[in-house]
């Protein structure tokens, strides 16, 4: 897969599975809505500050994100770290009309935060092969990229 093909997979996935270690030391996963990307290496996820995965990521940010297209039999797993962001800049970027039903106090709701995942490496697969992504390859591809809503690119 080329980097552009991997990025297309990420953009059309809409959801990702985030893997992390919970507070009891157990591996854990959650399915998350993830459409904001800065190239291959940075991804934003809006979620509840009070959620178990946020509490775990605040303790230990090591994590992975797994994007798939089940119909095309393609996937990419990115390994890296997650940081929990509560600054308004991140929250505004991901805020959508109607989010008040989840966060009644609006964009400044204390239970609203953004997870910023930063990839350090990855592995992809497709029917025609598989391969690894290094930190250097991810950084080179991401040079000069800005955060984009991948979902809006698919419409």
- At 126 the pLDDT is 94
- At 155 the pLDDT is 54
Beta strands 148-149 and 27-33 are: unpaired
Structure tokens at 34: 């993830």
Report CA Rg, the chain: 15
For 73-125, how does the pLDDT look when each residue is reduced to its tens digit (9 = 90+)? Answer: 999 999 999 999 999 999 999 998 899 999 999 999 999 999 999 999 999 99
Handedness of CA 89, 94, 96, 100 (dihedral sign): negative
For 124-152, how does the pLDDT look when each residue is reduced to its tens digit (9 = 90+)? Answer: 999 999 999 999 999 999 999 999 998 77
Alpha-carbon distance of 1 to 19, in angstroms, equals 23
Structure tokens at 75: 């996937």
pLDDT at 26 over 90: yes
């Amino acid at each position: 897969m080329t980097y552009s093909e991997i990025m297309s997979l990420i953009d059309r996935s809409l959801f990702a599975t985030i893997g992390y270690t919970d507070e009891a030391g157990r591996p854990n996963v959650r399915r998350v809505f993830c459409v904001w990307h800065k190239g291959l290496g940075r991804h934003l996820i809006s979620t509840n500050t009070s959620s178990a995965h946020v509490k775990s990521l605040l303790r230990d940010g090591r994590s992975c994100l797994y994007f798939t297209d089940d119909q095309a039999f393609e996937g990419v797993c990115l390994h890296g770290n997650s940081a929990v962001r509560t600054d308004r800049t991140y929250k505004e970027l991901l805020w959508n009309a109607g989010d008040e039903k989840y966060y009644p106090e609006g964009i400044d709701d204390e239970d609203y935060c953004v997870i910023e995942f930063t990839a350090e490496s990855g592995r992809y697969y497709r029917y025609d092969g598989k391969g690894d992504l290094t930190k250097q390859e991810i950084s080179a591809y991401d040079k000069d990229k800005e955060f984009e809503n991948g979902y809006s690119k698919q419409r």
